[in-house]
Amino acid sequence: MSKKKTYEAEDFSHHVTSMGTYFAIFAALMVLTALTVWVAFQDFGSLNVPIAFAIATVKATVVVLFFMHVIHSPKMTAAILVGSIVFLGILFLLTFSDYLSRFWPMA
């Protein structure tokens, strides 16, 4: 019984992130935003969209891990996060099984 209590107490304890980390992450996000803007004015051909997505993914990952504390959360939180991304992946993957193989008469 007492064992269970300490386990739950751990669950809810908050890891204190230092101000330095927050500012470092903020700076990184600003740099990445500048990069996004710069990239938007370049033409990489068919890579335009993948590059934009890649930068956005890095930004989102950093926000989720540090600002939303997932990096210091219990494994269950990570499992739920990964699970959601997997299901989003299913939505994309199977939808593209149609789009990438469809006959587009106008294109």
Partner 1 sequence: MTTDAIDSAQTPRHEEGTNYINAEYGLLSWLFTIDHKRIAILYMISVTALFFVGGIFALLLRLELMTPQGDLFTSDTYNKLFTLHGVVMIFFFLIPAVPSVLGNFILPLQLGARDLAFPKINLLSWYLYVIGALMGVVVMLLGGVDTGWTFYTPFSTTYSNTWVVPTVLAGFIAGFSSILTGLNFIVTIHKMRAPGLTWFRLPLMVWALYGTSLIQLLATPVLGIALLLIAVERLWQVGIFNPALGGDPILFQHLFWFYSHPAVYIMILPAMGVISEVIACFSRRKIFGYKFVAFSSLAIAFLGFLIWAHHLFVAGISVYSAMIFSFLTMFVAVPSAIKTFNWTSTLYKGSVSYEAPMLYALGFIGMFLIGGLTGLFLATLGIDIHVHDTYFVVAHFHYVMVGSVIMAYFAGIHYWWPKMTGRMYPEWWARLAALLVFVGFNLTFFPQFLLGYLGMPRRYHAYVPEFQVLNVMSTAGATILGAGYLLPLIYFVWALKYAPRASANPWGASGLEWHTPSPPTTHNFEDTPTVTWEAYDEKAWLKEAEKNV
| One residue of 16, 19, 37, 94 binding partner 1 per CB under 8 A | 94
Distance (Å, whole) CA 84 – CA 77: 11
Q: By rule CB under 8 A, what string of x and - marks binding of each residue 63-92 to partner 1?
A: -------------x------xx--x--xx-
Q: By rule CB under 8 A, what string of x and - marks binding of each residue 27-66 to partner 1?
A: ----------------------------------------
Distance (Å, whole) CA 101 – CA 93: 12
Residues within the interface to partner 1 (CB under 8 A): 76, 83-84, 87, 90-91, 94-95, 97-98, 101-103
